[in-house]
Amino acid sequence: MTRLIILTSGKGGVGKTTLASNLAAALTDFGMKVIAVDANLSTPNLALHLGLHLAPYTLHDVLSGKTKLEKAIYPHPYGFKVIPASLGLNDLKGVDVAKLPEISLRLLGKADFIILDCAAGLGREAISALSASDEAIIVTNPELPAVTDALRILKIAEETKVKVIGVVVNRIKGEKHELTKEEIEDLLGVPVIAEIPEDENVSLSIAARKTLLEFSPDSPASREIKKLAARLCGVKYKDCLLYTSPSPRDRG
Ligand code: ADP
Ligand code: MG
């Protein structure tokens, strides 16, 4: 069975695209077939994160009827597949975002997980992407404005009958003013399923156009993303150690 999961947020810049590319990689490590879709049509950057920004066919072409879906699915060296969006502003012409649900339906059966990265906020594009999904992960930072915006998208997800799996809190610095896991759970009423720390390797990996899991597989953020992937696959995190190099203590 294919799981169609959208990574969404109220506020922009919280880490959806970073999580989409690396969750795709982490799920691949667990033997899952994954397709990561850049459903952020107005401000796309998943392809940029993954070094696929020069792909000749994109989701824009599919949505405007210029290309067949199959032509816009590219293999990433890590082992998962990617449907990039176009960086060209002109390509937005003739694109019908309302067709996104039809595209995701056509992807069913082609992978174990379809991960959709989408635009932040409550605009038409973000809502179309939500309607194209069965399940949602809400991404936020541990700050009050981001969590307040997350609450708004959570309500929309519920109205759209999308099952909210939980909240991922990203860029945790451990500073005093940050909301705690418990406070975020109280405010949103859904469980926090991952807590990803601030990690300088994230921006370094994006600059290198590599996933964080390739660039720095044992970095603090990588480990938390692998834990989340384990949770989504229903396996214990201990199993993840198969995919990370052993710590000096484990080596004895
Ligand atoms: P969104 O897709 O929600 O707009 P991005 O994934 O593009 O967010 O991330 C926004 C910025 O935050 C990027 O420049 C990225 O380098 C940085 N970032 C994301 N997650 C982390 C993290 N865990 N640690 C440090 N920087 C991060
Ligand atoms: Mg993004």
Which ligand 1 atom sits closest to the C-alpha of 12?
A: 4
**What is the rounded distance in angstroms from the CA atom of residue 133 to the CA atom of residue 204?**
31
pLDDT at 250: 42
pLDDT digits (tens, 9 = 90+) for 106-144: 999 999 999 999 999 888 888 888 999 999 999 999 999
pTM, entire model: 0.93
pLDDT less than 70: residues of the chain:
238-252
Residue 165 φ then ψ, to 5°: -75, -40
pLDDT confidence of residue 42:
86
Cα–Cα distance for residue pair 8/17, rounded to 1 Å: 10
Report the atom number in ligand 1 closest to the C-alpha of 43.
4
Query: In angstroms, rounded to a whole number, what is the distance separating the alpha carbons of residues 221 and 103?
Result: 31
Q: Is 64 exposed, middle or buried (0-12, 13-18, 19+ CB in 10 A)?
A: middle
The pLDDT value given to residue 237:
77
- Can you tell me the distance from the alpha carbon of 114 to that of 106, in angstroms, rounded to the nearest whole number? 11
Spacing, Cα 251 to ligand 2 middle (Å): 38
Ligand 1, residues at Cβ distance < 6 Å: 9, 12-18, 170-171, 196, 198-199, 202-203, 206, 221
Q: Both tokens of residue 161?
A: 């009958």
Measured CA to CA in angstroms, residue 3 lies from 163, 193, 224 at distances of 11, 17, 21
Nearest ligand 1 atom to the CA of 11 is: 3
